[in-house]
């Protein structure tokens, strides 16, 4: 009994323990092989996933990068300067784009304003800004209602107001923007309506003034001459036109013809004295004289002056150019000249159209024969006589509306005088 009990408490040796461990590990391996065989047999059609990577420590990199080289202060400063230069370049490009955009906007605004201004300067629009101002003293004359009826029929603006110069008609133009507190511009044209009796008093007063009899002139306080000269002294730019009604006189380009039984008998002056008075008024006072029959002629004259004033702003605008026949654009019959020189022959034709009685067809014909002024001057120099030079263009054929005609010796001589004369005051016709 004691032997058996003692054997139960025996310890296993190291060799036996290692053998047991080996058998246990072998058993486990066999078990795992069996399990893997079973698993592979049951999942033969499944894709095996790779085993997960082993866990890494926090902060550790899977692919450690090589150690970075430490930059110097010069490299850092160079990078900083490069970044600042790139930033400044971006700012400059942004500023340039903004300035270009603003310049385009201003140019579009300028063109829009120029188009609006040009539109307002057209005669059909400009005449709406004119106001015909009539002195109330004229309404007392018989037939003056024709003037008011005609202005109302044309739908032109007019007003009845007292003038500093009695029996006169003036014009004012509305301004788009007020200047110096005034909303309108006073035109320099003034019409002074006189009867034949008033005109004869004016002629007598001027004749006395020219011959030195100023005492009698000062005694005539109610003379028409005094308020007229006072008006001219206040504004020397005024252009006064005397309209003498109830007259049978007519004018021609050479002067005024008077009847002996009228002015000579009534005034006691001859034609030479009367012409001396008219020359003085025209040259020294810028006063012209027009004889009319009745108020219908006065009305026609007022309408003509009003239409001329409506066309004046557009003409002044075109005349501001050095060459008004070569304006920039297609309006006012202008021609655009490109950088390659195209359009110069049209300018040459437009220049010839400025001459009196030279039509566009005739100007085109001359421009086709002599495409430049220099060629025309060379053709003149090649001729040996003055008569041949004057008749150089006479034989050219002008085609207009299916008809053919010659330039003719008169127009040919006028063109020759225009391009060869040395006198700037020469009258071509």
pLDDT, one tens digit per residue, over 27-81 is 444 444 455 444 444 444 444 455 666 555 544 455 555 566 788 888 888 889 9
Beta-carbon neighbour count of residue 144 at 10 Å? Answer: 17
Which residues on adjacent β-strands are paired with residue 192? 168, 242
Whether the pLDDT of residue 95 is over 90: the answer is yes
Instruction: Write down the pLDDT at residue 331.
Output: 45
pLDDT at 356 over 70: yes
For the chain, the straight-line distance linking the first and the last C-alpha, in angstroms and rounded, comes to 172
* Distance, C-alpha 239 to centroid of its chain: 30
d(CA 171, CA 309): 9
Report d(CA 113, CA 109) in Å as an integer.
6
* Residue-level pLDDT at 18: 47
The phi-psi region of residue 343 (left if phi > 0; otherwise alpha if psi is between -120 and 50; otherwise beta) is: left
pLDDT digits (tens, 9 = 90+) for 212-252: 755 554 445 456 778 888 888 888 888 899 998 876 554 44
Residue count of the chain:
429
Dump pLDDT digits (tens) for 126-157.
888 899 999 999 988 888 889 999 999 988 99
Report the pLDDT value the prediction gives residue 102, as an integer from 0 to 100: 93
Nearby residues of 246 by Cβ (< 8 Å), 6 or more positions away: 195, 196, 293, 294
> What pLDDT is recorded for position 279?
86
Backbone angles phi, psi at 251, to 5 degrees: -110, 155
Phi-psi group of 332: left, alpha or beta (phi > 0 → left; psi -120 to 50 → alpha; rest → beta)? left
Burial group, residue 132, by CB count within 10 angstroms (0-12, 13-18, 19+) = buried
The packing angle between helices 295-319 and 145-153, to 10°, is 50
Lowest mean pLDDT among 25-29, 233-237, 301-305, 344-348: 25-29
């Amino acid at each position: 009994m004691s032997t058996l009990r003692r054997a139960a408490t025996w310890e296993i040796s190291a060799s036996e323990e290692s053998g047991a461990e080996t058998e246990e590990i072998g058993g486990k391996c066999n078990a795992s092989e069996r399990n893997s065989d079973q698993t592979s047999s049951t999942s033969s059609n499944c894709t095996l996933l790779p085993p997960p990577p082993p866990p890494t420590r926090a902060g550790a990199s899977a692919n450690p990068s090589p150690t970075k080289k430490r930059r110097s202060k010069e490299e850092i400063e160079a990078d900083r300067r490069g970044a600042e230069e790139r930033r400044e370049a971006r700012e400059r490009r942004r500023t340039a784009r903004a300035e270009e955009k603003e310049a385009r906007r201003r140019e579009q605004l300028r063109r829009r304003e120029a188009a609006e201004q040009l539109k307002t300067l057209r005669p059909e629009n400009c005449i709406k800004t004119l106001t015909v101002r009539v002195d109330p003293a004229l309404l007392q004359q018989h037939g003056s209602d024709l003037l008011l009826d005609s202005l109302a029929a044309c739908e032109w603006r007019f007003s009845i107001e007292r003038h500093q110069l009695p029996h006169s008609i003036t014009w004012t133009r509305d301004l788009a923007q007020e200047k110096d507190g005034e909303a309108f511009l006073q035109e320099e044209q003034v019409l002074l309506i006189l009867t034949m009796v008033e005109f004869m008093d004016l002629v007598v007063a001027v004749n006395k003034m020219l011959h030195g009899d100023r005492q009698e002139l000062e005694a005539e306080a109610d003379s028409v001459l005094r308020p007229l000269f006072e008006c001219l002294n206040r504004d020397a730019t005024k252009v006064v036109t005397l309209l003498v009604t109830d007259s049978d006189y007519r004018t021609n380009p050479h002067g005024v013809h008077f009847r002996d039984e009228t002015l000579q008998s009534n005034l006691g002056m001859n034609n030479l004295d009367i012409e001396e008075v008219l020359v003085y008024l025209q040259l020294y006072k810028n006063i012209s004289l027009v004889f009319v029959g009745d108020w219908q002629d006065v009305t026609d004259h007022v309408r003509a002056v009003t239409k001329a004033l409506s066309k004046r702003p557009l003409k002044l605008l075109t005349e501001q150019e050095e060459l008004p026949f070569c304006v920039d654009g297609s309006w006012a019959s202008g021609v655009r000249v490109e950088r390659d020189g195209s359009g110069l022959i049209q300018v040459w034709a437009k220049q010839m159209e400025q001459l009196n009685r030279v039509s566009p067809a005739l100007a085109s014909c001359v421009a086709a024969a002599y495409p430049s002024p220099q060629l025309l001057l060379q053709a003149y120099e090649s001729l040996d006589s003055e008569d041949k030079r004057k008749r150089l263009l006479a034989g050219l054929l002008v085609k207009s509306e299916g008809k053919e005609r010659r330039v003719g010796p008169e127009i040919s001589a006028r063109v020759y005088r225009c391009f060869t004369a040395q006198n700037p005051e020469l009258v071509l016709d």
